[in-house]
Amino acid sequence: MSRAMLTLRSTAEREQAIQWVRKAPTGSRVEFKGPSRSVDQNSRFWAMLTDVAVQGRINDRRFNTEQWKTMFMAAYAEERGLEIKHLPALNRAGMIPCGRSSSDLSVSEMSELMEWIAAWGAENGIKFHDQEELEDA
């Protein structure tokens, strides 16, 4: 087996993982991750990015949601001391950050990232829609 992945939801899946570990050749790599982000977290994440894209600016410049996502992911990784690689742009005009995908974040990591975005937003005058809903209640 060259690659395999299981999401541990039952005793049978846990037993399958144990069997794979027992049969794995020496030098095999095993990675354990927390539960991946929820659908609700994903929806809130993109809503937050949209709010930032509409209201936020850096040096008077606007950015789209994908650009903000890249900037927040890089800043979050840097703050947590995670490795951030930069690759040369194909046109040789600068560098491109390369790192983890937001879809690879666990539930707790996504919560931390959204708290980080909310804190950045508070410092930069961003009004998030979910805050407005709480204030209206």
The model's pLDDT over 14-51, given as tens digits with 9 standing for 90+, comes to: 999 999 999 999 999 898 887 888 889 999 999 999 99
CA 127 – CA 137 distance, rounded (Å)? 16
Range with lowest mean pLDDT among 21-25, 102-106, 115-119, 129-133: 129-133
Read off the pLDDT band of 132 (50, 70, 90).
Answer: low
Coil, strand or helix: which one is 4? coil
Region 48-73 average pLDDT: 95
Read off the pLDDT band of 134 (50, 70, 90).
Answer: very low
Say if residues 65 and 53 touch (Cβ distance below 8 Å).
yes
CA 71 – CA 84 distance, rounded (Å)? 12
pLDDT of residue 22: 94
pLDDT of residue 52: 98
pLDDT of residue 74: 87
Question: 35-136: CATH homologous superfamily?
Answer: NinB (1.10.3790.10)
Length of the chain: 137
Closest to 126 in 3D by CA, of 50, 46, 51? 51
Provide CATH 1.10.3790.10 ranges for the chain: 35-136
User: Which pair of tokens denotes residue 47?
Assistant: 């809503």
Closest to 76 in 3D by CA, of 50, 105, 47? 105
* pLDDT score of 1 more than 70: no
* pLDDT score of 67 more than 70: yes
